[in-house]
Amino acid sequence: MSNDDCLFCKIASGEIPADKILESDDVIAFRDINPQAPTHVLIIPRRHIATINDIEDADAADLGKLYIAAKEIAAKEGFAEQGYRVTMNCNAAAGQTVFHVHLHLLGGRDFTWPPG
C-alpha cells in the first residue's frame, strides 16, 4: 500500500530522487537531506505505515528488517564498533515531520543522553 501524498512513498517508488544506499523488496535506505551527524540515513519500509501507532502484527517482519539494515549500514560506514544511534520519532511531541515510519541511523560522532 502506498499513499499518494507521501514524500517517502514517492522516494520509494523513484518518483522523487534521493541518495539511496540500500534497496530491497521490503526496505529502502537513503541519506537524510539535512544530516545531523557525519552519517545520517533514513531507513523505511517500502509499504506505507504512517506512525508507530499504526504498526500491526503483520508489519513486525518489515520493522525488524529496518534494524537489520541499520546494522549493515553501520558496519559498511565503519562505525558499528564505535557505536551509533537509531531512533524513530512518533507524532508531534517527538518532532515527527514525515508520516511514513522511518528509522534515523546516525553515526560518526558521539551522542549525548538524554536526547533533546
Closer of 9 and 70 to Zn ion (Cβ): 9
Cβ atoms 95, 89 nearer than 8 A: yes
Among 93, 95, 113, 115, indicate the residue that binds ligand 5GP (CB under 6 A).
Answer: 95
Q: How far is the C-alpha of 20 from the C-alpha of 54, rounded, in Å?
A: 25
Among 51, 52, 98, 108, indicate the residue that binds ligand 5GP (CB under 6 A).
Answer: 98
Catalytic status, residue 102: yes
Cβ atoms 21, 41 nearer than 8 A: yes
Our finding on whether 3 is near Zn ion (CB under 5 A) is: yes
Our finding on whether 32 is near ligand 5GP (CB under 6 A) is: yes
- Positions annotated as catalytic residues are 102
